[in-house]
A and B are shown apart, each in its own frame.
Chain A
Amino acid sequence: GQQVMQIPQYQHVQEGEDFTTYCNSSTTLSNIQWYKQRPGGHPVFLIQLVKSGEVKKQKRLTFQFGEAKKNSSLHITATQTTDVGTYFCAGPTDKLIFGTGTRLQVFP
């Protein structure tokens, strides 16, 4: 079946450092969604990318969808303690497949 993998599984950074998580699908995706889950909380939708090669920005967050629509990345510039949480990508087949997630810890 389709798999969506994310790397790294964990990332610890000093506040102010950059952070990137990568999402790779075994099949081509029609779109990719990104969610953030704060510790103890529930996933919250961040963004959806649809077009091949698409890049979208939200303040310090930059999202990219690969040319082949099989991979995606989320880059955070100058991390803050409020960025702590687990970031999930998700891509659709007959259902929405969530990636394994990257847990980000930011040390002040």
Chain B
Amino acid sequence: DGGITQSPKYLFRKEGQNVTLSCEQNLNHDAMYWYRQDPGQGLRLIYYSQIVNDFQKGDIAEGYSVSREKKESFPLTVTSAQKNPTAFYLCASSIEGTYSYEQYFGPGTRLTVT
């Protein structure tokens, strides 16, 4: 089956630790995205990548880092510099990054930092 996988589904970390969230897609999509969703809120863009080895900051990139070494993979690292990291993180992909195409979302990772 084609789709996007995110792991793990739930993640617990202590404050001050960096944590990396996995996102893999087998849809052969060029563009990938990371969003953050807080309870009862909409989606806020953290980082996006329109092509391998290239990525841009979204609206709330501070405290996060990404890499795009392979077309299929777009991992997100939540660093200790992120002041309020507890949230639901969603990865998405689209055929290309022109926003004329729908975005496919993964199941998400719920991160809790205490």
Contacts and interface: CB of A to CB of B under 8 A. Distances in A.
Do chains A and B stick together as partners? yes
Interface of A: 30-31, 33, 35, 41-45, 48, 88, 90, 92, 95-96, 98-101, 103
Interface of A, secondary structure class, is strand
Nearest to A34: B102
A45 B40 contact: no
B102 A43 contact: no
B33 to A, nearest CB: 8
Interface string B19-56: 00000000000000101000011110100100000000
Contact of A42 (B42, B99, B106): B106
Contact of A99 (B42, B45, B48): B42
Given A95-B48, A95-B58, A43 B99 contact: no
Interface of B, secondary structure class, is loop
Interface of B: 33, 35, 40-43, 45, 48, 58, 90, 92, 98-100, 102-108
B104 A45 contact: yes
Contacts, number: 46
5 contacts: A43-B43, A43-B105, A45-B103, A88-B43, A101-B42
Contacts of B100: 30-31, 92
Nearest to A101: B42
Contact of B42 (A30, A45, A88, A95): A88
Nearest to A50: B100
B103 A42 contact: no
Nearest to B88: A42
A41 B103 CA distance: 15
A44 B43 contact: no
A100 B43 CA distance: 8
